[in-house]
């Protein structure tokens, strides 16, 4: 998925974690990254990621799927994307 599509999706995001597979690892961006950090009680660190295509800096976190899906159910899954439902605060 293109970065602008991810950012558009994240701008509307409230309680879902959108994950994207990149080179065998799963990542969450922006609001999803913040939700992952909250769900895992700060055990992950949000890092700044530079997207050279659009010359922007975004928040990103690498996700340990097993740890995350123990806390929240998967609502949609494909080879390269996953949506996880988060409990509402």
Spatial separation of the C-alpha atoms in residues 68 and 82, rounded to whole Å? 12
Which candidate, 55, 13, 50, 64, places its Cα nearest to that of 34? Answer: 13
Domain spans of the chain, in order of start:
3-85
Q: How many CB atoms lie within 10 A of CB 58?
A: 18
| 60, 27 contact by CB (below 8 A) | yes
Structure tokens at 51: 């997207």
**pLDDT above 90 for 82:** yes
Residues above pLDDT 90, as percent of the chain: 84
Return the pLDDT at 14.
Answer: 86
**pLDDT above 60 for 62:** yes
| 24, 13 contact by CB (below 8 A) | no
Question: What Cα–Cα distance (Å) separates residue 73 from each residue in 10, 16, 36?
Answer: 19, 10, 13
């Amino acid at each position: 998925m293109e970065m602008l599509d991810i950012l558009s999706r994240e701008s509307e995001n409230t309680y879902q974690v959108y994950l994207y597979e990149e080179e065998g690892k799963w990542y969450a961006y922006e609001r999803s990254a913040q939700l992952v950090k909250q769900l895992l009680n700060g055990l992950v660190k949000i890092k700044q990621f530079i997207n050279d295509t659009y010359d922007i800096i975004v928040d990103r976190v690498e996700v340990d799927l097993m740890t995350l899906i123990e806390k929240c159910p998967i609502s949609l899954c494909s080879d390269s994307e996953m949506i996880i439902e988060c409990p509402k605060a």
